[in-house]
Amino acid sequence: MKIAIVVLDGVQALDIAGALDVFAEANKCLRAACQYQVSLIGERAGPIACSNSMQLSVPFDYTAFRTSVDVLLVTGRAHASNCRPKRDFLDWLRDRALQSKRIGSICNGAFLLGQAGVLNGREVSASWADASSLAREFPLARIRPDRVLIRDGNLVSCAGATAGWHLCLSQVADDWGHEFAARIATRLGMDMDQEGRPYIDPAAGKSTLIEKVQRYVNEHIADELSIEQLASAVSVSRRSFSRLFAKHAQTTPSAFVEELRVDAARKILGETDDPLKTVAFKCGFHNATHMRMVFLRRINVTPMQYRQQKRSGQSVHGMPRRMHRTDRSIDFEATA
């Protein structure tokens, strides 16, 4: 899996360090042929200054980087709303975004993607500090400062530098599954949920509701699961449930349930020969067509394509299949 991270002068060091640490930690648990190959690319090769004055060496300038990549990540920088790179660079960035299977905007890297014309019609996460500027400059984008991490097709965006770690963990989860990504998160001293976001600290007494909901949904995945039913399951009123869930899960109950349904369906598709309509029924989709629509929206492949790629030894993004705990080529039990 080849990943390109775009960095410019004034980049926030956390944007780079967090991403590199996540993929480096994952590589410790992957055999050599499956490891992430990460390249840093800038407007020019050589040293650049991070926003905290740390010096960083960028190996490639964009004109010399010819390698095809699977994932394109764009980092943020100080005063991003007031900076505009050369037109040639923005054209290159747009072309690369169109060619990449996945695109990621870390912190205010969304400004660069917007300037390259990539955000039109897209839903994008942003910090409250950048939301107004982004909305003014890119009126065709749907800016969401109330969400930490958002998936819109093949674009994943996050608000804030530290949220970039969770964005990268979500990429690992896409390739190797949530269990493996959670293992990497633990090695880095982090926790994550199905979308790569951190769980609320249980010690603070705030994650109990989310954990109960997740457990209930997994146990009743074939049911319709209305908000009233979920609220009853955790013994709160519907109104309180909606408010608390939005506050602590940073997503809607319906989106949360849908993601768990997709996870359940992926597991069945990869491990059984059940017909698609049976898989849809077991996982609570209305029918096979509904399941297909949700798969395309969430992971950009159909259920049949997902199954075929799993069976051919590839992940949904062309990587070798996720290894099992019994496969000695991937060390799930290694510790940092």
Block means of pLDDT (10 residues each) for the chain, length 336 residues? Answer: 93 90 95 94 92 91 92 85 84 94 92 92 84 86 82 88 86 85 85 46 50 88 91 86 78 86 89 94 95 87 85 47 37 33
Q: Cβ(95)–Cβ(68) under 8 Å?
A: no
Q: Residue 129: what pLDDT?
A: 80
Residue with the two structure tokens 């960035």: 93
Q: For the domain covering 2-178, report its CATH number.
A: 3.40.50.880
Paired sense of beta strands 55-58 and 46-49, if any: antiparallel
Q: Provide the pLDDT for residue 325.
A: 35
pLDDT score for 81? 64
pLDDT of residue 191: 63
Which pLDDT value is given to residue 51? 87
User: Looking at residue 312, what is its pLDDT?
Assistant: 66
Q: What pLDDT sits at residue 190?
A: 76
Phi, psi of 97 (to 5 degrees): -65, -40
Secondary structure (3-state) at 196? coil
**Alpha carbon of 162 to those of 17, 67, 158, 225, 247: distances in Å?**
10, 28, 9, 33, 19
pLDDT at position 185 is 87
Q: What is the largest CA-CA distance in the chain?
A: 59
- What CATH number belongs to 200-311? 1.10.10.60
Assessment of whether the complete model's pTM goes beyond 0.85? no
Q: What pLDDT is stored for residue 136 in this prediction?
A: 86
Strand bridging mode 123-125 / 102-105: unpaired
CA angle at 181 for the pair 305 and 301, rounded to the nearest 5°? 15
What count of Cα atoms within 13 Å lies in the side-chain half-sphere of residue 120? 7
DSSP 11: B
pLDDT of residue 323: 39
Note the pLDDT of residue 209. 79
pLDDT score for 201: 36
What's the residue count for the chain? Answer: 336
Per domain, the residue ranges of the chain are 2-178, 200-311
